[in-house]
Copies of this chain bind each other. A is one copy, B any other.
């Protein structure tokens, strides 16, 4: 089952995708279910009721007609992993534990939905704004002290995720802080694919494309620590909650093709680790994260407001 959230006249509604182009509204097929995915996940039989309600339905709405939105409305925790692919560890030259996940957090405001603009910082603020194609894991069943062998039972489903990162700010100090939390700097979607349909994450691959050029490509079993290990680790101290998101880390840059002028041009890189095949995200780009068997998360990149254009800043000046 593929669950979307979309903008429906100012409010966020849920839908179930029924074909490559169509979906049904959850409020049409299951009006008694909550309109928030987290609230559905909090009901022990929520996903089951949704699945029964959607069974055999023909989609009567077109995906092309709606704006997709992030399907998690402010969960308690949005975890993310740094340095969880050997290829990314190698290209940065950074150290990480081989035993414990390298965990930090993002806020809900740092993510937009599929198709929505990702905001590149104003050039006066930062220029090393990087995509990070990742597997996103959404928790369904809460739990503490979850053994590795039962950890995947706690997963509601998976999504594609672009963990957009502002490298200059990430390097301001030892904790990543603001560098991983710029406004609308990342995205996830296009939908939540439930665990039963996605199967074992380790059998899938992930690709990131900028303007059609593949910049990252890796099997998900290249991860240093897998989904089950990370869930089990977190549950030692934290009660995983329905709707919690875990971004599983990004692979390294793919070696550029010989004729890929941009991919070889390190002079246009402003980050701490200039790497062949890496290009920053810039306004006007189109960025895609694809996980085979799951779907494609595509976003345009737009320019964030600079200080003089910011409504908030202007409002403050006037106050």
A246 to B245, CA, bound (A): 22
- Are A316 and B150 in contact (CB-based, < 8 A)? yes
Q: Taking the complex as formed, is A39 at the interface, i.e. its CB lies under 8 A from any CB of chain B? A: no
Q: Interface readout for A133-171 with B: 1 if CB under 8 Å, 0 if not?
A: 000000001111110001001100000000000100100
Interface assignment of A103: CB less than 8 Å from any CB of chain B: yes
Q: Which residues of B contact A154 (CB under 8 A)?
A: 316
A179 to B97, CA, bound (A): 15
Point out the residues of chain B lying under 8 angstroms from A101, CB to CB: 172-173, 177
The interface bits of chain A over 94-106 (1 if a CB of B lies within 8 angstroms of the residue's CB, else 0) are 1111011111111
The segment from A204-212, A271-279, A284-292, A305-313 that touches chain B is A305-313
Tell me how far the C-beta of A130 lies from the nearest C-beta in chain B, rounded to whole angstroms: 14
Task: Tell me the nearest residue of chain B to A150, going by C-beta.
Answer: B316
Chain A count of residues within 8 A CB distance of the other chain: 61
Residue in B100, B145, B181, B238 whose CB lies within 8 Å of A172: B100
A101-B172, A146-B316 given. 8 additional CB < 8 A pairs?
Answer: A97-B172, A100-B173, A102-B174, A104-B175, A125-B237, A143-B313, A178-B234, A178-B238
Contacts of A104 in B (CB 8 A): 104-105, 175-177
Within 8 A of B (CB), among A107-139: 107-109, 121, 125-126
Q: Cβ of A141: which chain B residues have Cβ within 8 Å of it? A: 316
The smallest C-beta distance from A311 to any residue of chain B, in angstroms, reads 8
B238, A183: Cβ atoms closer than 8 Å: yes
Partner of A237, one of B103, B143, B144, B169: B169
State how many angstroms separate the Cβ of A219 from the closest Cβ of chain B: 23
Binds B, one of A29-37, A74-82, A293-301: A74-82
Also in contact, A312 and B233, with CB within 8 A (given A97-B173, A174-B96): no
Q: Which residues of B contact A95 (CB under 8 A)?
A: 174
**Does residue A64 face the partner (Cβ distance < 8 Å to B)?**
no
Q: Which residues of B sit under 8 angstroms from A177, Cβ to Cβ? A: 79, 101-104
Complex contact A145–B312 (CB within 8 A): yes
Tell me if A236 is interfacial: C-beta within 8 Å of chain B: yes
Tell me which residues from 175 to 193 in chain A have a Cβ below 8 Å from any Cβ of chain B: 175-179, 181-183, 185
Contact (Cβ within 8 A) B125 A236: yes
Once bound together, how far apart are the Cα atoms of A181 and B316, in whole Å? 34
Complex CA distance for A110 and B147, rounded to whole angstroms: 22
Asked if A109 meets B178 with Cβ closer than 8 Å, knowing A101-B173, A310-B145, the reply is no
* A126–B182 CA distance with the chains assembled, in angstroms: 33
Task: Please measure, in the bound complex, the distance between the C-alpha atom of A65 and the C-alpha atom of B143, giving whole angstroms.
Answer: 33
Q: Does A239 contact B (CB under 8 A)?
A: yes
CA distance A5 to B179 in the complex (A): 33
Interchain CB contact under 8 A, B102 and A237: no
A88 to nearest B CB, angstroms? 14
Complex interface: chain B residues within 8 A of A182 (CB): 237-238
CB pair B174 A319 closer than 8 Å: no
Closest to A98 in B: B173
Q: Min CB distance, A195 to chain B, in Å?
A: 15
